[in-house]
Chains A and B, each alone.
Chain A
């Protein structure tokens, strides 16, 4: 750690991992409800568990992005953070808001929560991923603006690099597209149309800029390859991302009442979206192969390579699988969608945040890398989580193919509920694999507490 103010990122990383655990626990509850329908009913209905699961994911990824930015921007800008105090204050605001929101989901009927929090003044709630009450949404805006101010001031006053420029563009884009979540037209078709501006333009747009910047930063550090080379790659990758991903939004406009020309625009452009993900994979391996030094933190390098591979598989391959309109006609809103959503989020955003934590945390704790023993434990957690996510995806894909066949293709289509019974075996397998994922996560946390003799000096 070169700058004292980088230390604020530790708070963010710890909270991110805590929320990650909550996310996975609620995922396991839902997985069980898929096969034992009345499990925990009516205490925790499925939709409540799902809100906790998805919102915890989003919040912890945002915490991870913020922590990463607070770590990386001082080093890139070669100066202390503009205001470490602001960063700490915003952390507590964000954490308390997130905890209060989750508690409210669990304890208060959603309709009452909506009434008490001013949803009648400006109704934004009850749409997938954007379930947060108005005060929480406003809190997110305040935290995001304060954070962006802090980071932008640091960059403006210091050295400007391509990596920090790209990161800033990604983070500003994240905040700007979140503002669209305050727009909720009465017309459901227009509601859905603009809802995707937040959701799709996040994960297949501006978040990929953040992903690229974080990966580039860690790769420079662990490989020692010239910044010039890495930054050029970064620009090429994000160019490919946005020229495919913006119009690629059209792959969500096939069947929601929007005109049919979207079937062409959406299919063609989104079919090209895997290219930047593939470029990212090649980039990561290429840089590691051309490394000029052997960085003692091998775990971080493993996570960086894993991000390259898994984001390509989850977003690129599993995205392509169902992105062409004639295929999507059958798979839309099925377990295929769920399979893709899981591996894409894990492979791209979960893994890049962990890459960053893996690289930065030892430095924040005063050493270049963890002891060999701790790294071995961490690498075990890498394989446990990554392999179980691959299997979760495969089981959901199998369930999805069967579902599509039985419910949508067969001559005598089955009802939704009857179909679900038919594929229960795969839901059980998914749940079992989910338990292994949780074990992997616990092993990951354990790696932080493992003391070894031979920690490398910072």
Chain B
């Protein structure tokens, strides 16, 4: 690199560029927060759904599953499992029955643990998964299989 381009010039560009783009990022974040209410299904963010999110977290479901494509890739996507398993026609019932029935014990097949959730907790986690399925994700995933 040539003579007139000194280390201190490089340093100044670094600081200037970083500050500029970080402020731009904050501005985009502000706009993001403004736009979220129309997309994130917050009207249905009931205490039951919040409790369901706690169960999602304290059972570490994300250590095997993805949720909206984020998490582990060992087990099916759950952001749309409510829709995949029947939606208003049985989605909630499927999720609760499924969790209660684990593990399958099928030899050689990937296993999901038994979490011993109470009926109330099952309702909560199912409500959470229904809530997530109603977030506007710009049509992701490409199909119901997730």
Contacts and interface: CB of A to CB of B under 8 A. Distances in A.
A250 B25 CA distance: 9
Contact of B7 (A33, A232, A247, A337): A232
A36 interface: yes
A279 B23 CA distance: 25
A36 B107 CA distance: 9
Interface string A227-270: 01101110110110011001101101111111111110100000
Nearest to B112: A45
Interface residues of B, number: 74
A414 B145 contact: yes
A126 B56 contact: yes
A260 B29 CA distance: 13
Contact of B138 (A260, A333, A414): A260
Interface residues of A, number: 80
A130 to B, nearest CB: 10
A188 B6 contact: no
B39 A258 contact: yes
A187 interface: yes
Interface of B: 1, 5-7, 10-11, 13-14, 17-18, 20-22, 24-25, 28-29, 31-33, 35-36, 39-42, 45, 50, 53-54, 56-64, 66-77, 103, 105-111, 113, 115, 131-132, 135-138, 140-146
Interface stretch (A46-54, A297-305, A359-367): A46-54
Contact of A408 (B35, B39, B74, B143): B143
Nearest to B117: A111
Contacts of B103: 41-42
B113 A45 contact: yes
Interface string A108-127: 00110011000100010111
Contact of A334 (B41, B59, B60, B73): B73
B72 A125 contact: no
B7 A235 contact: yes
A333 B73 contact: yes
The 8 closest A-B pairs by CB, nearest first: A47-B63, A126-B57, A333-B69, A37-B110, A255-B140, A235-B10, A189-B40, A416-B76
